[in-house]
A and B are shown apart, each in its own frame.
Chain A
Amino acid sequence: MKGPENIRSRAVSFFTEIGEISYFALRFFREVFRPPFEFRELIRQCYNIGNRSLLLVCVTGFILGLVFTLQSRPTLMEFGAESWMPSMVSISIVREIGPVIIALICAGRIGSGIGAELGSMRVTEQIDAMEVSGTNPFKYLVVTRIVATTLMLPLLIVIGDTVALLGSAMVENLKGAVSYQLYFNEVFDALKYSDIVPATIKSFFFGFAIGLVGCYKGYYCSKGTVGVGEASNAAVVYTSMLLFVIDFIAVFVTDIFFEVQ
């Protein structure tokens, strides 16, 4: 009896959590278009989220492009297909690997940061203090952060993809004597509208998911400092899972709208 009971209670808490996150998302959509708007805080959050993640995204993107090209090269050379390298790398990175890897990196960097920040504000009663001063803390803390992650993540992904292609071009230039100009000509020839647009749309959803889960976990944090750690950790774990679910749905929808035509 203990096993089925355990499964049942886990299932109940899982669906309860999904319901609560959905309600949290609904509240976000209700508040985001309703004045007063917190533009100054939004700009500050965009700066925090965008600028402070830039170096991490660039380093990750550069190594990603470098390693991907280095490891694919021998196999392509075996088939005499090394000239396909720019198109293969660019399509893989722009369509899938770039957005997913950078979103996962940002889930760790941004999602955990938001979870910990809001969590510590909750347990030290700072959120309560905002509420009793007649300010809507949901609008000031949650709406601004979710909008900022939704706007900044596509930008970070575009920058990360570009740096990844630069890393790949560098390997091709050093190992295959391919000029940067030739490499990027091949890249732009290979990339189609149907590669860039779905990936960009998908990255807005990734940003929304990172902000939403981080804020949800932090905003409803309890159990003192232990709870802050748990909120930060859960924000990363939940967001990572959610990113793969969104990615699966995005690939499925893209396949319907772009590949069939």
Chain B
Amino acid sequence: MVFPGSNCDLDVHHAIRLMGQDVSYVWHTETDLSQYDVVILPGGFSYGDYLRVGAIASYSPVMSAIKEFAYQGGLVLGICNGFQILCEAGLLPGALRANEDLSFHCHDIYVRVEDTDTPFSNQLRTGDVLKLPIAHGEGNYFASEEDMKNLRVIFRYSDSQGNRGGNPNGSVDDIAGISNLSGNVLGLMPHPERAMEELLGSRDGRGIFSSIVAYLKERSGISV
């Protein structure tokens, strides 16, 4: 997906090409997504972050198609600003607030894999520690106790050994990434698409993309 103000769309495109998969840019005015297996909402500053991060994009024309796609069981991945948009659109519970220290954080962090029973994490192991970059000013996840019952924590900020700690933004329960209960919609603040090559510091983001590919191969194997 490309919204006005998206700026990680090229990185995501590159990451998917690295995995040997087909990918195309979809403009935010598109209304039919039925030909796609996965919809990815990239990072950036859609609509200049006006009003609230992700708020305006959550009403762009393509969002009803994305909701329909998700309700049909399609895979939807929101990265950074994409995660913020999914929360604003109600596809994921909770909301993202300004970082606790009010600073924009742009550095590597570690996350611990908490749940591998999703299309986005099936090639990972629980307890795996991934080194991924973050770049956000509003990554401070909040969910009410009620909302916490409607989500699954997939990634938690941790130290390099996978122990609690290393939370860069004040997120409740050290949450870095969540999915809906059925697991087909995932949002995370770190950028796996920027961690695909050793040359760029880490290739730990590959596990998420290879999980998606593995899931889709298995799904088409069964359904065909």
Q: Do A and B bind each other?
A: no
